[in-house]
Amino acid sequence: MIYGLTAAIAWGTSAVFATYAARRCGVFATVMIGQVLGLILLLSMTVVLRPSFSAVHGSVLVGLIACGVVGLLGYLSFYRALEEGPVGLVSAIGATYGGVTAILAVLVLGESLGLIGGWGVEPLVGVAVVPSGGATGYSSVGVSFAFASALAYGVGGFLLGDFAGRTGWLSATLVARLASMVVLLGVLPFLGRQSSQHDLRSGFWWAVAAGATDVVGICAFARGGQVGQVAITAAVSSVYPVIPVAAGLALFGERLGPRQAVGIVLIVVGLVLLGLVS
């Protein structure tokens, strides 16, 4: 649960930074900067910690590559949705990835949350309620991108959590990030043109901050998948919208509807229940 909560704090903070970055320097530039910075940090940790890569071969390698590619789709979709607005709404929709990951972990890996843990998945109910709080000015395209990111993050999170248990959290995270960087560089000539329409300088440091906090969340999530249950780590980490919702109120002038307030209460209740089985 501690690793899941660490991931939630890191990802919630990252979502706020990414909102500033995506709206100033564009989606692709934000993703590129964050991915490059994250790769540098992961390589630095690899030099210091010297993890083993002996288990990274065959189907495990293919799975980690798939994890990186699917995760990249999640980033592009999520940041595109953040560019559209409101940060609290987008984050709440995106956080339903935890439900996808938890369900896959139970069905594929045979993990069991138990009765209390099953009720603890209630945070996912909470974040599903938050988006229906009546926010205005949000396009159906943005909603589609937000849900697409939830699906991609859910599948990617399941793969990362599963393979981290086999190879180690750092090895799995680094290989997945390398795969996403290869794909990102491959589409650079096509998507990179969009960055020329934005002011890169005004959003650069926001993108750096988003990338740094994001990689902290990824490492915590992978570590949680290695030492504990993927389903519980995913469910706990999915409470991260609490931070963007608060930021939306304080920094972006968004309003918290009655249903959003109910959703946040459900998130807190679910977190406590999950803590009882962690």
pLDDT in tens, the chain (278 residues): 788 889 999 999 999 999 999 989 889 999 999 999 999 999 999 999 999 999 999 999 999 999 999 999 999 999 999 888 778 778 878 877 877 887 788 788 887 666 555 555 555 555 555 554 445 445 677 778 988 998 999 999 999 989 998 999 999 999 999 999 999 999 887 766 655 556 778 889 999 999 999 999 999 999 988 887 777 787 778 778 889 888 888 888 877 667 666 666 666 666 556 555 55
∠206-76-123 over CA atoms, to 5°?
A: 85
SS (H, E, C) 191-212: HHHHHHHCCHHHHHHHHHHHHH
Distance CA 71, CA 261 (A): 29
CB 74 within 8 A of CB 156: yes
Q: Provide the whole-model pTM.
A: 0.83
214 token code pair = 């994001």
What is the domain extent for residue 226? 2-277
Q: Which of 98-111 are b and which e, b meaning 16 or more Cβ less than 10 Å from the residue's Cβ?
A: bbbbbbbbbeeeeb
Which one, of 156, 151, 205, 150, lies nearest residue 177 by Cα? Answer: 156
Q: Is 121 helix (H, G, I), strand (E, B) or coil?
A: coil
**Amino acid at the residue 87:** V
**Backbone phi, psi, residue 104, to 5°:** -65, -40
Q: How many domains does the chain have?
A: 1
